[in-house]
A and B are shown apart, each in its own frame.
Chain A
């Protein structure tokens, strides 16, 4: 049972345009969401996160939107650059009982290609 889903395996965008990566989740206990970028032969790099008490978080060219009622989040990259070409994973974590477990559940990833 996949609790975090990225339904688009790949996305191709022209340089300078907006990239929108989507992620859906099923577990209503998730309260913290993260986006990671991964280049080949490197570990995932943390990009941006959002707590469930917010609906938007922005950091430079990266903005994450959270729609709790739809259990959906998205990552917007504006403007897209060729160096953004990578695999993007969304991830979620939940508080159980009185504390955090530390467990991150990852989506399957979306490969973004930004064409010059």
Chain B
């Protein structure tokens, strides 16, 4: 089992809504990541968790709030988003923090549209 599962696959929300994206992996990986990808652009790192602790926040606006309740689960809580936040949100995991021999494995993402 080498899967990273993300739900929902699609999400449409208004600017005043609160919603959450969910990511799950059962590979025993201890590092998990959130990325944002706009059309025809590479993924951009948002957050890194290592052993359920936030280790990197790439200056992401506070309307995005990550949470790692346990080693298998990663959430991204959304509140008061802007239309420019519409994008594909990707979750990834790796056995340990990425370095030699530690590739990141990605889920299929959540396509988020802000009305």
Contacts and interface: CB of A to CB of B under 8 A. Distances in A.
Interface of A: 31-32, 34, 36, 41-46, 49, 51-53, 89, 93, 95, 99-104, 106-109
Given A34-B103, A46-B103, A100 B96 contact: yes
Given A44-B90, A100-B98, A101-B48, A107 B103 contact: no
A59 B9 CA distance: 31
A102 B42 contact: no
Given A103-B45, A103-B48, 17 more contacts: A32-B99, A32-B102, A34-B103, A43-B6, A45-B106, A46-B105, A49-B101, A51-B101, A89-B42, A93-B99, A99-B99, A100-B96, A100-B99, A102-B31, A102-B99, A106-B43, A106-B44
Nearest to A47: B103
A93 B100 CA distance: 9
Given A46-B103, A46-B105, A107 B42 contact: yes
A22 to B, nearest CB: 15
B42 A109 contact: yes
Interface of B: 4, 6, 31, 33, 40-45, 48, 50, 55-56, 90, 92, 94, 96-109
20 contacts: A31-B100, A32-B99, A34-B103, A42-B108, A43-B106, A43-B107, A43-B108, A44-B90, A45-B106, A53-B100, A89-B42, A89-B43, A93-B98, A101-B97, A102-B50, A102-B98, A103-B45, A104-B104, A108-B41, A108-B42
A102 B33 CA distance: 9
B102 A41 contact: no
A86 B21 CA distance: 26
Contacts of B90: 43-44
Nearest to A43: B106
B42 A95 contact: no
A99 B97 contact: yes
Contacts of A34: 103-104
Nearest to B43: A106
Contacts of A41: 108
Contacts of A46: 103-106
